[in-house]
Amino acid sequence: DQQVKQNSPSLSVQEGRISILNCDYTNSMFDYFLWYKKYPAEGPTFLISISSIKDKNEDGRFTVFLNKSAKHLSLHIVPSQPGDSAVYFCAAIPWAGSYQLTFGKGTKLSVIP
């Protein structure tokens, strides 16, 4: 049973436009959410996170929105750049002090120049 779902395996966006990557979760105990970015042949790297007590967190071109009632979060990248082309993983952690990240299957973003 998948607790973190990324229903779009891939997304193509024109350079300069907005990229929106979506993530849904089923476990209401999740307390903290993270986005990781992964290039081919490399390990994932942390991108941005949000606590369940917030509904928005912004870091430069990257903004994560959390809708707890809908159990949905999204990552917005504005403006998108070719270097943003990667696989993006949504991840969640169930409670403070837990070490177990639960990952979604990832969305492959392609930014077309």
Partner 1 sequence: NAGVTQTPKFQVLKTGQSMTLQCAQDMNHNSMYWYRQDPGMGLRLIYYSASEGTTDKGEVPNGYNVSRLNKREFSLRLESAAPSQTSVYFCASSGSLSSYEQYFGPGTRLTVT
Q: Is residue 101 a contact residue for partner 1 (CB under 8 A)?
A: yes
Cα dihedral across residues 54, 59, 61, 62: positive or negative = negative
* Assigned token pair, 105: 């299957």
β-pair type (102-103, 107-112): unpaired
- Name, in order, each residue with C-beta under 8 angstroms of 69's C-beta and a sequence gap of 6 or more: none
Q: Is residue 49 a contact residue for partner 1 (CB under 8 A)?
A: yes
CB of 61 to partner 1, least distance (A): 19
Q: Is residue 60 a contact residue for partner 1 (CB under 8 A)?
A: no
Give the residue with the Cβ less far from partner 1, 48 or 79: 48
For partner 1, the binding residues (CB under 8 A) are: 4, 6, 9, 32, 34, 36, 41-46, 49, 89, 91, 93, 96-97, 99-101, 103-106
